[in-house]
């Protein structure tokens, strides 16, 4: 198997950076080398040393002066919402009924699912995301399409067929039994095949009957190593309606709690309006709150209190995500730019090193996958991005005055988008430059 040696300014993170000066939290190699072999990072360090160990024959791809980082991880996005993104003028429940449900109904057509899955993963890669945690539609064929496309690209992705059996148009409703059967079949076919991971995906408490929640519970009992994804506490009207549907519950989180759905592999989208009791329950179970800033601003849902959740006596595990198509951009740079502004509206600032920790190692830790992705450690999987901080005239000009790595990262976050992603490697192979050529 041939190896490839990447050369550039290599940056990864060892832990949460406390401040913009906390370079001890980073591993940074000004003239670094990353040796990729068999889809894995076989060696890393100063370029000259890695090159000497690799031998004179190894082909070198010189990415200088660009930055080389672990690929971005997007912990919550909806594949079937590519033609929902940028739909005007509603809050969550109206947006679901007016735009989202009609669009998701089209995924009864397997061919449509295949087309959108292909374009979705193209777009994800173009923006520098190498792992996405995706919702498919209620139709099992949409998840089939997603996994087939993801497997062909050898991406490490996590996805699931949405379970929903009420409060949605008939064409989008499954039943408790069919959602269980379809999910079981998808797990058997796809979970652990290549780099594919299955996530049990009850959409949210509003669209699942208690009988379906029991099915989700049974699936998690039978497959305790799986991820689970759902939505929690996004919007005031949603919370109110949820409480009407589950009148016995103490609060929204209590519903998922009673069905045994909290836990370290459970990903809860939004978590904006949690009470202290709910946040404690999330923390005690190691559940993950997924911050979706562009979506929360676009739908007017509210301001996720990122730093307070991190600092509370019982801290929350947090990840960050695009939530396309409630979210408004595929780019995790654009996402963190909006995240910074949400945190600013909460009266605080997130330092740029912490932002990029979150998009890489932080999100990998939240997915319990940092032993495989998000770090550039030797032996981990070679999902890598190359970032160009001078990707457009405005960035190039601003770079003239940048003095530190933290300033450069902040520039990338504030002004960057897909144009700043010069190349993407998925399992050691170029994936962006080859889009549209196969
Ligand atoms: N809650 C339930 N479904 C959805 C969805 O598709 N997007 C968002 N943002 N919230 C949801
Ligand atoms: Zn969502």
ipTM: 0.99
Report the separation in Å between the CA atom of 306 and the middle of ligand 1, taken as the mean of its atom positions: 20
Probe target for ligand 1 pocket from 95, 100, 105, 327, with the most ligand atoms within 8 Å of CB = 100
**CB-ligand 1 contact for 326 (6 Å cutoff):** yes
pLDDT band at 109 (very low <50, low <70, confident <90, very high): very high
pLDDT digits (tens, 9 = 90+) for 253-278: 999 999 999 999 999 999 999 999 99
Ligand nearest to the CA of 231: 1
**Residue nearest to ligand 1 atom 9, measured at CA:** 326
**CB-ligand 1 contact for 134 (6 Å cutoff):** no
Beta-strand pair 129-135/158-160: parallel
Check residue 2 and give its pLDDT. Answer: 84
Report the separation in Å between the CA atom of 232 and the middle of ligand 1, taken as the mean of its atom positions: 9
pLDDT band at 67 (very low <50, low <70, confident <90, very high): very high
Report the alpha-carbon angle 415-393-8, nearest 5: 75
Residue % of the chain over a pLDDT of 70: 100
| Average pLDDT of the residues in 67-88 | 98
Mean pLDDT of the residues in the chain: 98
Counting from 1 in the atom list of ligand 1, the atom nearest the Cα of 301 is: 9
Residue 15 has pLDDT above 80, yes or no: yes
pLDDT band at 323 (very low <50, low <70, confident <90, very high): very high
pLDDT band at 437 (very low <50, low <70, confident <90, very high): confident
Which of these, 179, 157, 184, 152, lies nearest to 168 by C-alpha position? 179
Q: Which residues of 406-416 are buried (b: 16+ CB within 10 A; e: fewer)?
A: bbbbbbbbbbb
**Residue nearest to ligand 1 atom 1, measured at CA:** 231
CA–CA distances in Å: residue 66 to residues 61, 80, 186, 336, 430: 12, 34, 40, 20, 16
Check residue 1 and give its pLDDT. Answer: 63
pLDDT digits (tens, 9 = 90+) for 279-289: 999 999 999 99
- Under DSSP, the state recorded for 207 is G
Look at residue 327 and give its three-state secondary structure: strand
Ligand nearest to the CA of 290: 2
**CB-ligand 1 contact for 328 (6 Å cutoff):** no
Token pair, residue 194, equals 């290549």
Check residue 218 and give its pLDDT. Answer: 98
First to last CA, the chain: 22
Probe target for ligand 1 pocket from 168, 234, 241, with the most ligand atoms within 8 Å of CB = 234
Report the separation in Å between the CA atom of 75 and the middle of ligand 2, taken as the mean of its atom positions: 10
User: Considering the entire predicted model, what is its pTM?
Assistant: 0.98
**CB-ligand 1 contact for 234 (6 Å cutoff):** yes
**CB-ligand 1 contact for 203 (6 Å cutoff):** yes
pLDDT band at 409 (very low <50, low <70, confident <90, very high): very high
Token pair, residue 91, equals 């809050």
Please give the Cα distance from 367 to 200 (Å, whole number). Answer: 14
Report the separation in Å between the CA atom of 41 and the middle of ligand 1, taken as the mean of its atom positions: 36
Report the separation in Å between the CA atom of 203 and the middle of ligand 1, taken as the mean of its atom positions: 7
Check residue 178 and give its pLDDT. Answer: 98
**CB-ligand 1 contact for 92 (6 Å cutoff):** yes
Residue % of the chain over a pLDDT of 90: 99
pLDDT digits (tens, 9 = 90+) for 248-259: 999 999 999 999
Report the separation in Å between the CA atom of 326 and the middle of ligand 2, taken as the mean of its atom positions: 7
Is 284 exposed, middle or buried, given 0-12, 13-18 or 19+ CB atoms closer than 10 A?
exposed
Peptide bond before 327: cis, by omega within 30 degrees of 0? no
Report the separation in Å between the CA atom of 121 and the middle of ligand 2, taken as the mean of its atom positions: 17
**CB-ligand 1 contact for 229 (6 Å cutoff):** no
Assess contact for 25 and 16: CB atoms under 8 A. Answer: yes
DSSP 161-184: PEE--SSS-GGG---HHHHHHHHH
pLDDT digits (tens, 9 = 90+) for 135-147: 999 999 999 999 9
Report the separation in Å between the CA atom of 269 and the middle of ligand 1, taken as the mean of its atom positions: 8
């Amino acid at each position: 198997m041939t190896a490839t040696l990447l050369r550039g300014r290599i940056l990864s993170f060892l832990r949460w950076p406390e401040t913009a000066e906390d370079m001890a939290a980073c591993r940074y190699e000004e003239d670094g080398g990353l040796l990729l072999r068999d889809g894995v990072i076989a060696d890393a360090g100063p370029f000259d040393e890695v090159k000497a160990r690799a031998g004179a024959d190894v082909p070198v791809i010189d990415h200088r002066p660009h930055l080389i980082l672990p690929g971005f991880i997007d912990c919550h996005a909806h594949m079937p919402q590519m033609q929902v993104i940028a739909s005007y003028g509603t809050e969550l429940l109206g947006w679901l009924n007016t735009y989202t449900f009609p669009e998701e109904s089209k995924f009864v057509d397997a061919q449509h699912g295949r087309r959108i899955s292909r374009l979705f993963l193209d777009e994800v890669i173009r923006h520098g995301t190498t792992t996405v945690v995706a919702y498919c539609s209620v139709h099992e064929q949409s998840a089939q399409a997603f996994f087939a496309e993801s497997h062909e690209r050898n991406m490490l992705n996590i996805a699931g067929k949405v379970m929903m059996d009420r409060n949605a148009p008939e064409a989008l409703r499954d039943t408790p039994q069919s959602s269980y059967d379809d999910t079981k079949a998808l797990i058997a076919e796809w979970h652990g095949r290549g780099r594919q991971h299955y996530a049990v995906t009850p959409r949210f408490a509003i669209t699942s009957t208690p009988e379906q929640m029991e099915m989700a519970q049974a699936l998690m009992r039978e497959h305790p190593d799986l991820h689970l994804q759902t939505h929690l506490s996004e919007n005031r009207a949603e919370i109110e309606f949820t409480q009407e549907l589950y009148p016995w519950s103490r609060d929204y989180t209590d519903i998922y709690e009673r069905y045994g759905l909290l836990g370290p592999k459970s990903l809860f989208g939004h978590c904006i309006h949690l009470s202290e009791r709910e946040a404690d329950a999330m923390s005690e179970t190691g559940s993950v709150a997924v911050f979706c800033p562009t979506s929360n601003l676009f739908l007017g849902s509210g301001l996720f209190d990122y730093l307070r959740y991190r600092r509370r006596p019982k801290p929350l595990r947090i990840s960050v995500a695009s939530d396309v198509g409630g979210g408004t951009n595929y780019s995790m740079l654009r996402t963190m730019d909006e995240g910074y502004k949400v945190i600013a509206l909460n009266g605080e600032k997130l330092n740029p090193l912490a932002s990029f920790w979150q998009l890489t190692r932080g999100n990998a830790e939240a997915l319990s996958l940092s032993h495989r992705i998000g770090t550039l450690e030797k032996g981990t999987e070679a999902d890598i991005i190359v970032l160009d901080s001078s990707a457009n005239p405005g960035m190039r000009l601003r770079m003239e005055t940048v003095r530190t790595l933290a300033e450069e990262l902040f520039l990338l976050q504030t002004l960057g988008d897909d144009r700043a992603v010069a190349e993407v490697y998925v399992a050691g192979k170029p994936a962006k430059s080859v889009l549209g050529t196969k």
